[in-house]
Homo-oligomer: A and B are copies of this chain.
Amino acid sequence: MKFTHFNEAGRSHMVDVSAKQDTQREAVAEGRVRMLPATLALIKEGHVRKGDVLGVAQVAGIMGAKNTWQLIPMCHPLLLTGVDIGFELDETASHIDITATVKNTGKTGVEMEALTAVSVAALTIYDMCKAADKEMVIEFVRLVAKSGGKSGCYVRSAGD
């Protein structure tokens, strides 16, 4: 096991993928924002009435996915062909689960784009609600599944 993101001098480089084929790829990432029950109630109420926190987070997450290659130094620029984000509110556990699905056709995968979409959406929820609740925690940001490319499909095992 070794890292691919370093050259022979031990310095970081953007891995050479020139010889790779363009294939259709997809990645799914998830994350969670844990918060006070009162904060979750406000978000839920806003969605149905007015002040839609999740609508803003949705836009921010999609734009975050497109900007991934400008944020993460060694990421390759990619032409995303689809980005979708979903939110699930769990009132019992008092958190919001975020799922991002990103697609592209290219030489490298979109795992980082999906993880960045989740992170930026979570940060936006934090920003919109921080006047009411400073204790929110972003957690469990992880890759759930990917397909396409030479390494084929990956599905995270359920246990984690």
Given the interface pairs A123-B112, A137-B142, the reply to whether A59 lies near B12 with Cβ below 8 Å is yes
Chain B min CB distance to A28 (Å)? 12
Are B137 and A51 closer than 8 Å at their CB atoms? no
Instruction: Give how many A residues have a beta carbon under 8 Å from the other chain's beta carbons.
Output: 94
Binary per-residue interface labels of chain A (118-160) against chain B in the complex, 1 for a CB within 8 Å, 0 otherwise: 0110111011111110111111111100000000001010001
Binary per-residue interface labels of chain A (84-97) against chain B in the complex, 1 for a CB within 8 Å, 0 otherwise: 11110000000000
Are A103 and B154 closer than 8 Å at their CB atoms? no
Select A141's contact among B82, B103, B139, beta carbons within 8 Å. Answer: B139
Majority SS at the chain A contact face? mixed
Are A72 and B120 closer than 8 Å at their CB atoms? yes
Closest to A14 in B: B83
Chain B residues within 8 Å of A160, by CB: 135, 137
Given the interface pairs A13-B85, A63-B70, the reply to whether A119 lies near B138 with Cβ below 8 Å is yes
Chain B residues within 8 Å of A132, by CB: 1-3
Is A76 part of the contact surface with B, judged by Cβ < 8 Å? yes
| Interfacial residues of chain A within 59-86, with CB under 8 A of chain B in the complex | 59-60, 62-67, 69-86
